[in-house]
Structures are given as structure tokens and as C-alpha cells.
Chain A
């Protein structure tokens, strides 16, 4: 949680938002999980592309 201790200061604007924990940060670059997300995001984006062409 070094990024939280370093970057968040009491009662500054950053104090009132949510900050990712180490687990979330790990999954952001976890190759297996990100490969799964890659497939899912592509499918979602293609759905939006399809809905946008009339």
C-alpha cells in the first residue's frame, strides 16, 4: 500500500476518492486475468460498434 501512504494526504482532494488496493493493482497486469479481460472487453466493444452503425 506504499502508493496510498505516499500519495494520499488528509483533507486534500485525493483523500475523498477510492484508491485501488494491491490486489486490484496486481490483477491489472496479471497476464492470465488480463487475457480473459482482453477477450471480454473486445466482445463488449464490438457490441457497441455494432449498435452504432445504422
Chain B
């Protein structure tokens, strides 16, 4: 009997756990450890954050789904990994601390044969003074609860505008090293759409602020699309939309402090500035969740297992080298830890070898560049790929991973909502292939133009809406769920 422990039940962890449960016979165990009792379809938090969906539309209880599937579910947070076992335990294990199931605060050890770290990110609001809804002055759409709060604040803002009070709205990223620009991109256009719908658009000054060196970077160094006989940069695509909607932009910006009603930032040229706001949604930077690792003798070896940013090291080339020497082959293919072959990291939890966007610094030495996104489709594919490898290692005795999914050989389909309405709504539907540009294979723009495209329209909204229902259906393991692609 083998036991696979999955830490985290986001897109990647849930995908890995459910496929493993489906493939492995009942003689093997699949354990999921996650601190949340609910699964959240995060892309639709945008619609919760502007009042177009309720929290209940984007979450569901994990326990009944895992019970039905035969997955051992522990509502707990992982605290440490002991890959060599410990003083009283020969097998490798993780220590966990319960957050629910009536055992709040209790600690436990869970041994494993294979471990998948899918813990996702820590929302590092603390990296910027005054950032975030809990100890700061900005709202967030990163969790369903944050999105509910964001909508409450937005509705207050709309009410003030209806009463004749002009409002300043600032949306974007809250630190120079943020990722997930796409979520902020979606939110700004959904808010703009909602203000139009409420008849108060003329009462709002909306500003976009982000760490991208050019609009449309999205943390992947931008992309090129075939449009009107040209290979057009995503910069034109994005700038066009902001200009059309009357949203001015501040880019290359590191938000270093937020005060009530005021955002302070530094830009790539070294200049500093301030933006006043009545309502602001700024995405926080991501960090690893802070898992520790210990050797058999109890000594701390967190540095061996994890990169300094807290993400788990996998089969990537982590050699520090300049941008000009970056290769597509630096990116991991199997997501297996080089020191402990029975440990894998998927989704946001794996440490990327370097940025995808070109690294940049202000003259003051402040790094201002988007960090690599690992969300959505890549996250799901990586989760399933690792599950396939572990299945083959357990059932076929394979001595190494049998499947690979490099982000430099993988595309992504992304649908960014720009207004939720079945007749008047819009979304930017984009695909990019590959996610990490391969300038050796595709000199010049790094990507295959035949599989990299994008357009704005109502069709994108329909697709986004269908994806919402399709992926929640799949995550609930309803009949035929395995047929729905990641």
C-alpha cells in the first residue's frame, strides 16, 4: 500500500488528488491536507467583487466531495516536512495543525510515500505597509471573503457617486514584485462596466497602477497576436482597451506604502509619486506559505528544500544567470524535488527558476517586475501530470517521473472578463503558446503565432461563463468529470 499526501486543495492540488484517487486502487491511500473547508473557483471572485455573483456561487464544501471520492480529508494546515523521517518515525512525514473538523489547534503527523506540495501562495500583504483589507486600506479579490468585502466597499462608493460625490478609484498591483496582473486587469474593467451600468461612470476617476514595464506584460513578458495583418504586441492590445475606457495608467510602479486615501509608489525611472483614492483594489505579492523542513536528526533544512521565497525546489535550473542566458530548458518538466524523489510541487508552490518578464530595477535598486504566474490552466495541467507520474511510480514501479509538463512547452488559454452580461458583456479571450517564451525555437517573439491569439468580445464572456460552470462541475467530481480538460 502506498499513501500519497497532497498539501493544498486549490486548482493544482485538487486536480492531482482527484485524479490519483480515480486511478489508484482502493489498496492505496490519498490524503488531502488543506486549511480551508471550501474549494474556491478563484477566477470568478472578480464577479463576486463587483456584486455580479454571491460567494456561494464560487465555493463549495470539500468534505462531501472527498468523502464520496474516498479521499482522506484533513482540514488542517501543513507546518513542516520531514523527508527523512524523525527520531521516532522511520517513514517521511508531515506535521499538520487542524483548523477544523472539531480538532482546531491539534497537531498530528501524517506519514507519506509520496508528497505533493500544492500549498499555493501566502498572500503577502505585509510586504507593503498599509496594503490589504485586514491591516490596511485597500481591498482584495484574492479570496472569496475578500471579494465579498471588496463589493461592499464598491457599493458604498457607487452610493456616494449617486449622491453626487466624485470618487477616485485605483486598481492594480500593490508591490513591485506582484504577479496575477490578469486578475487586477479583469477587476478594473468589471468595475468600469458596473459603474456604467449604475449610471455613475462620469462621477469616477479610475486609474490603473501596475509593476509591468509595459501594459500587457501580464508577467509573461507580453505576447504578440496576429491582428489586421500584423504581429501586434499585447502592449497595443492593452493600451487600446485602457484608452477606449478612459482609464489612465501608471506602470513600472512599486507601491511602497498605502495610507488612508493615498498610495505612495516608486517608478522604474526612480521617480516617486502619489495617487489619492476613495476605493482601491491592489493585488498583493505572493510568497511561499512558510513550510519548514527538518532532517532526521531534527536540524532545520528548510533552505535545502525551499528557495528563499518559500517555494519548493523542483527539477529546474536555478543557476543565477543574466536574462540574455535564460533558456526555455531552465523550466521544470517533472516537478520532482532533486534531493527527495518522492516529493513534488505543483501550481504556485513550485519555485520558478527565474522571472518570465525581463528583470528590471529602479536607479534606487528596487526590483520592479512581475513575477511568473503559475495559475489557471498551467496549474491544472501540472497537477494532473504529476499525478500521472506518481500513479506510474506506484502501479508500474517506474523509478522516475513518466510525464512532463514544462511551462516552456505548454500553452495557456486565458479569458479575462471585461463586464458580466450575457448580451452586453465582454471579455478578452487569449491563448499563448508557450507560456514561457522559447527564443531558440521561435526567434524574435518567442512564441508560436499560430497558437497565440487574442480578441475582445461577447464570445469571450460566454466562454468565461461556461468555464465557471464547467470547472465547478469538474471539481465536484460530477459524472464525466475526467473528460473535461484542465
Contacts and interface: CB of A to CB of B under 8 A. Distances in A.
Report if A and B associate in a common complex. Answer: yes
Contacts of B410: 52
Interface in B423-452: 423-424, 426, 429, 431, 433, 451
A3 B433 CA distance: 33
Contact of B381 (A6, A34, A52): A52
Contacts, number: 98
Per DSSP, chain B at the interface is: mixed
17 contacts: A14-B242, A19-B243, A28-B458, A29-B457, A34-B457, A37-B457, A41-B429, A41-B463, A42-B463, A44-B431, A44-B451, A47-B451, A48-B411, A49-B413, A52-B381, A52-B405, A54-B403
A41 B451 contact: no
B244 A19 contact: yes
- Contact-size category for A: 20 to 34
B363 interface: no
Interface string B442-481: 0000000001010111111011000000000000000000
Q: List 4 A-B pairs, minimum CB-CB distance, nearest first.
A: A14-B243, A17-B239, A7-B246, A38-B459
B472 to A, nearest CB: 18
B481 to A, nearest CB: 16
Contact of A20 (B240, B409, B424, B433): B240
A41 B460 contact: yes
Interface string A1-21: 001001110001110011110
Contact of B240 (A19, A41, A49, A54): A19
A35 B315 CA distance: 43
Given A51-B433, A54-B409, A44 B248 contact: no
B3 to A, nearest CB: 27
Interface of A: 3, 6-8, 12-14, 17-20, 27-29, 31, 34-35, 37-38, 41-42, 44-49, 51-54
Contacts of A46: 485
Contacts of B242: 14
Contacts of A28: 426, 456-458
B246 A6 contact: yes
